[in-house]
Amino acid sequence: MTHSENSGEVRIDGLTAGYAGRTVLHGITARLPHASVTAILGPNGSGKSTLLGAVAGVVPTTGGTVTLPPGVRPAFVVQRSAVSDRLPITVRETVAMGRWAHRGPWRRLSREDHDVVAESLAALGISDLAARRLGSLSGGQRQRALVAQGLAQRSAVLLLDEPSTGLDVPAREAIATALADAAAAGTTVVHVTHDLDEAESAGHCLLLREGRLLAAGAPAAVLTGTTLDAAWGLRRARFDVD
């Protein structure tokens, strides 16, 4: 991971990464634009989570570079299934953990920390759930809490792995609005999604197939019949063409 002067975008150049000697990403070069929401799409196993993990710094890279804005430590919201529902913590404590990067876990939260936690809860519409135990929540409520934890980190780069998968429309809309607001405030937001409608409302899209970048750019340019056909064979299912 290297740092250099840039506007806040994330640059990925010739990135190769994988697990235990097995290469999953093969020379990905892409930009994740500043103050925008980027959607990463692709079939199961195409390397979306691996790419996000490599940008987050939790998946080791074997070649190429990820260049973050100077001094930035990305906020990373993992898949809900990766979080134990047995953790004996409340929603407020879960979101407050997002401040640990700033305070360290054993320091008292400052007034500013408390304000950021309250704002993050409000942004996801879960202020009324603050005292509930995380493990007692529905999947959608828990996912909102995890996104709020990501927001509370106030990082310039916010990475989320399938934040909306399996959620109902109000939960999806709450998350989409919170991400759009974060981008409008200058955050580089990147999320993995399987939802083409969600990708269409992003500012930028990356489409992966078998660990390679098939297309990148504005949703209208990436989500065409030709590219979707190449990725999934979906052309006839979604577009009445040919």
Ligand X SMILES: Nc1ncnc2c1ncn2[C@@H]1O[C@H](COP(=O)(O)OP(=O)(O)OP(=O)(O)O)[C@@H](O)[C@H]1O
Residue 133 vs 194, nearer CB to ligand X: 194
* The one among 49, 94, 187, 188 contacting ligand X by CB under 6 A: 49
The CB-side HSE value for 145 (13 A sphere, CA atoms) comes to 28
Residue 36 vs 49, nearer CB to ligand X: 49
Residue 59 vs 68, nearer CB to ligand X: 59
| Residue span binding ligand X (CB under 6 A) among the ranges 48-56, 129-137, 176-184, 226-234 | 48-56
Nearest C-alpha neighbor of 57 from the set 15, 99, 4: 15
Residue with tokens 């519409």: 125
Token pair in block for residue 86? 């047995």
- Distance between CA 31 and CA 155 in Å, rounded? 18
- Distance between CA 184 and CA 199 in Å, rounded? 17
| Residue span binding ligand X (CB under 6 A) among the ranges 44-52, 65-73, 110-118, 215-223 | 44-52
The CB-of-165 to ligand X minimum distance in angstroms stands at 9
Interface with ligand X includes 191 (CB under 6 A)?
no
* The one among 44, 88, 104, 106 contacting ligand X by CB under 6 A: 44
- Distance between CA 205 and CA 88 in Å, rounded? 37
Residue 63 vs 135, nearer CB to ligand X: 63
Interface with ligand X includes 163 (CB under 6 A)?
no
Residue 26 vs 133, nearer CB to ligand X: 26
Interface with ligand X includes 48 (CB under 6 A)?
yes
* Site residues (CB under 6 A) for ligand X, limited to 57-116: none
Token pair in block for residue 66? 């990820």
Interface with ligand X includes 19 (CB under 6 A)?
yes
* The one among 8, 47, 140, 219 contacting ligand X by CB under 6 A: 47
- Distance between CA 45 and CA 188 in Å, rounded? 24
Interface with ligand X includes 135 (CB under 6 A)?
no
Burial string for 210-220 (b: 16+ CB within 10 Å, else e) reads ebebbbbeebe
Nearest C-alpha neighbor of 145 from the set 127, 162, 165: 127
Binding site for ligand X (CB under 6 A): 19, 24, 42, 44-50
